Structure 1
């Protein structure tokens, strides 16, 4: 028989997903929940990352919740601080702070079949029990501690990383190295270049970096977007415009899509080469910054200043492989050692799509089902991107094959709506457990694998390191489906795909 747990519902994480879950639980009339957050404030990645130049790379009007639209964004692409303030404001508006428990890190989740509840083990050796669990830990789980380059501990200067930026350290006049050319590097590099004495950017793989039209938002447009119908219509038009692209990549046969994408890539590369030649003074640097792969194989970046920063006298692009860190700097494979006061490690994150990110024993469900073991043997997968057979009363908001929306907030709204709909039905039926059936789980995963053939094939042929493709050769970062279909399924999945146990 089920016994009374500490909490009816526990949400793990207070980033964009946890805030969405809390707000939507409130909107569903459910007030019996607690949000556990390992840090001391909401916001997730937007709380952790405050590095120079940080801003969102999706237009503000689609990088927000549909239930908490904001019209008065000052610019089209808000700063990180503005996005963080937005998350805090939404949390206050929905009264989530009274549901929050900060400085509580969940390190292990174990299903208790006898009492039909989850035992959540914290880093402080506390056990918190919950009937239902919604995991909202996000996609970018932990900054990569090991960059794959030996000798970091030998370096006697300052090491900065995007998620732990020390703003007290003064870069003025310093010799600095930035390692990596991903999304954070593209923002950090032009932001710090004017103040440092010298800046070397170490590039392994060139990145596609398009101009960022970060214009002020006119007051008339802000006024128009305060009208709910106008704001909703704007989002709807964007969704409808992108839907045909998603359907092409999902439903058109692989034999047809391959030549279409080859032609698109060739055209895009010609345009980008021309753009770099016009932007960058040195032809050799422009050539070195030109990707050999197509624009869809890695995350596209946006910046108004990144390519042009290499025109500065104090900025240099380094493409030689790094052999190791030294006491005073970096030694490259050609034997050159360069001295630095500070090194910025913009080397990425452990991702939710990597099987290795799920430690064995961290999530243990019914009959000893171990999520880490299952993912290691079978690849990461989840029904509708949220539920795994063998884990009763548990959902994840950023799961494998979950992202198909135009913005992060749209995705977590959809996945949170799915979880809350299942919970509400279990409560209505007075069921002690609700668990996706193995049949539904397997059928869904087979469908997703079939639909994702083109994306897997495309990324594999590009031959470029990318977090879109994991160690199993799968591409579970994206859901091969349109946003409209995904949103509908998140709110109308058949209850027959779940087993409700009223014992």
Structure 2
């Protein structure tokens, strides 16, 4: 099949003349998903793969997010690979440097660096139906040809930066929390923070005491609950190492404790009324000014947006040098920001705490599947859907880790990642065992699966809690979160049901399916 590369797969930023690189599997990204997939392939006896990483080091979001106070909001004994536990985590909720070091250590221990190709941003590709192979390009023009493609880019990797009128005139520095400019000394500066997401909850307390003034531009307040990080005593670390089963038991306790929260979020949002009372009481204890307290009190059900924890966020906003502006940003001037109340507030630095592109993150990889189907165009029109959040109809041999409706609002995403990796590895083994070239989900099976997902989400707090969140796509559908307990997802991905798929052979005809 002859296809014009630029017409079918998007323009190239820089063309190179190097010959195509052939490999069995291309993995895109080297965070928890990408590294875990590489390890699974090695354990399966397959070393015919490459990991393409856009940056110069592994780690994904834990490499990129170096803002002050960056930490995990899930206990790290749970937010880590089950096959690579640690006894020596310093805190219950680890800080970014420790998790970043963990991922680098894992990459080294399992010998993954020989398969990594840094500075490679995959952005386009197409499925060759005659060859039964993927042709994939990076932005430097290098072509890769592979049987399988695993997208391990995750959802929290493309910063969402608002288009502010006049920002080009601003004389000071402006940057996103995920692109923190450490060359900027904030001491004594007038700082404007736009956004109140999970990152802002963490970095605002870290900078509030050193800046001359902090103006927080808030569109919607977050539900923030008390959380005091815990230093894990040395004796406990030694016990985790020496006492058989203790570390595993601790991890299991964390897991089932977190799972208990899924019931209210998914099935009985009314039960969260008690959580709301606790949240309002926390605001009352922390904030002196009743006007400020009203600004910081959400008008939606807890859980509708991501639940956050901090013992210091409200205290930082209670400082006399802090102000919360709720009138919105009208424009940026060379010296500051004009809000909806018409007041221009001076600023030396603007920091975006505005999160990431989530429901449209798939647009970073433009690919065409069978019969020239444009996956990005389809997702834009219908919303991103996949079978079990992993495979997509008409897109053979492509597997998404943390794909549509596999995100979580209550526990560790690493659990979901490991479930998906196991599923993908089995799908590849089936292809090899059957002697075929490709596997692709049946469209009717995918559609039925996603109707069931949306039906289950219809009564959840994310759909009924009275807020507009990044969990929802432009059509108002929740294409981000898994509707229920993670152990149910584990059950649903324990094995690949061959009847849900078509198997394709080299000449493109459906291969005989197993009974």
For the criterion TM > 0.5, the same-fold answer is yes
- Structure 2 residue aligned with 1:453, among 434, 444, 458? 458
Does the residue aligned with 1:125 lie in a helix, a strand or coil?
coil
1:320 aligns with 2:327: yes
1:383 matches 2:387? yes
Q: Report the equivalent of 2:13.
A: none
Structure 2 counterpart of 1:80: 96
CA deviation map 1:284-331 (0-9, x unaligned): 212211111111100111112101112322222222222111110001
Q: Quick one: distance in 2 between partners of 1:284 and 1:244?
A: 35
Partner of 1:441: 446
Give the conservation status (yes or no) of the 8 Å contact 2:438–2:503: yes
Residues in 2 aligned to 1:448 and 1:306: alpha-carbon distance in whole angstroms: 35
TM-fit CA distance, 1:103: 0.5
| 1:429 positional shift | 2.1
Within the candidate set 175, 178, 187, 1:172 is matched to 187
Determine if contact 2:226/2:282 at 8 Å carries over to the other structure: no
Residues in 2 aligned to 1:244 and 1:196: alpha-carbon distance in whole angstroms: 40
Which one of 226, 232, 253 corresponds to residue 211 of structure 1? 226
Q: Following the alignment from structure 1 to structure 2, what is the Cα–Cα distance between the partners of residues 320 and 243? A: 38
Native 8 Å contact 1:360 1:370 kept in 2:
no
Structure 1 range deviating more: 221-230 or 276-285: 221-230
Residue 289 of structure 2, aligned match among 271, 276, 282: 282
CA deviation vs aligned residue, 1:125-184 (integer Å, no higher than 9, x gap)? 121111111000111241123x14311111111112112111111111111111111111
Distance 2:320 2:263 in 1: 47
Q: CA deviation at 1:48?
A: 1.0
Distance apart, 1:241 and its partner CA: 4.1
CA distance in 2, matches of 1:67, 1:393: 26
Equivalent residue number for residue 416 of structure 1: 421
Q: Deviations over 1:198-254 (max 9, x none)?
A: 11111111111112220101223222333563333333334444545546765x6xx
**Corresponding residue number in structure 1 for 2:372:** 368
User: Which one of 126, 141, 151 corresponds to residue 125 of structure 1?
Assistant: 141
Q: Does 1:431 align with 2:456?
A: no
Aligned equivalents of 2:38, 2:457: Cα separation in 1: 32
Q: Which residue of 1 aligns with 2:17?
A: none
Q: Deviations over 1:249-306 (max 9, x none)?
A: 65x6xxxx4xxx33x3433332222211111222221221111111110011111210
Q: What is the distance in 2 between the residues matched to 1:310 and 1:72?
A: 34
Distance of aligned partners of 1:228 and 1:86 in 2 relative to their CA distance in 1, 3 Å threshold: farther
- Name the counterpart of 2:128: 112
Segments of structure 1 that go 5 or more residues without pairing to the other structure are none
Q: 2:504 corresponds to which residue?
A: 501
Cross-structure match for 1:24: 40
Equivalenced residue count is: 486
Q: Does 1:229 align with 2:232?
A: no
Structure 2 counterpart of 1:46? 62
Determine whether 1:301 maps to 2:299.
Answer: no
Aligned counterpart in structure 2 of residue 271 of structure 1, from 269, 278, 282: 278
Q: CA RMSD of the aligned region, Å?
A: 2.1
Aligned pair in 2 of structure 1 residues 230, 495: CA closer, same or farther (>3 Å)? Answer: farther
Partner SS state of residue 187, structure 1: helix
Structure 1 residues 440 and 95, CA gap change in structure 2 (3 angstroms)? same
Is the contact made by 1:358 and 1:371 (CA closer than 8 Å) also made in structure 2?
A: no
Q: Structure 1's 360 and 278: CA in aligned 2 closer, same or farther, altered over 3 A? A: closer
Residues 11 and 134 in structure 1, CA contact (< 8 A), matched pair in contact too: yes
Distance 2:389 2:33 in 1: 14
Structure-2 separation of matches of 1:403 and 1:181 = 20
Deviation, structure 1 residue 398: 1.3
TM-score (norm 1): 0.92
2:490 is paired with a residue whose SS is helix
- Correspondent of 1:491 among 488, 491, 494: 494
Secondary structure of 2:27's aligned partner: strand
Q: Establish whether residue 345 from structure 1 lines up as the match of residue 352 from structure 2.
A: yes
Which position in structure 2 is the counterpart of 1:33?
A: 49
Gap change, CA 1:412 and 1:361, over 3 Å in 2: closer
Find the counterpart in structure 2 of residue 332 from structure 1: 339
The CA deviation at 1:437 is 2.0
Partner secondary structure for residue 182 of structure 2: coil
Q: 1:412 & 1:73 partners in 2: Cα distance?
A: 21
8 Å CA contact retained: 2:389, 2:405: yes
1:133–1:394: 8 Å Cα contact kept in structure 2?
yes
1:468 pairs with 467, 471, 474, which one?
471
The answer as to whether partners of 1:360 and 1:371 remain within 8 angstroms in 2 is: no
Partner of 2:169: 154
Q: Distance in 1 between matches of 2:272 and 2:253?
A: 26
Paired with 2:455 and 2:186, the residues of 1 have a C-alpha distance of: 50
Q: Deviations over 1:67-87 (max 9, x none)?
A: 111111111111111111111
> 1:34 Cα deviation (Å)?
0.7
Kindly indicate whether the alpha-carbon contact (under 8 Å) linking 2:457 and 2:463 is maintained by their aligned counterparts in 1: no
1:96 maps to 112
Provide the TM-score with structure 2 as the length reference: 0.90
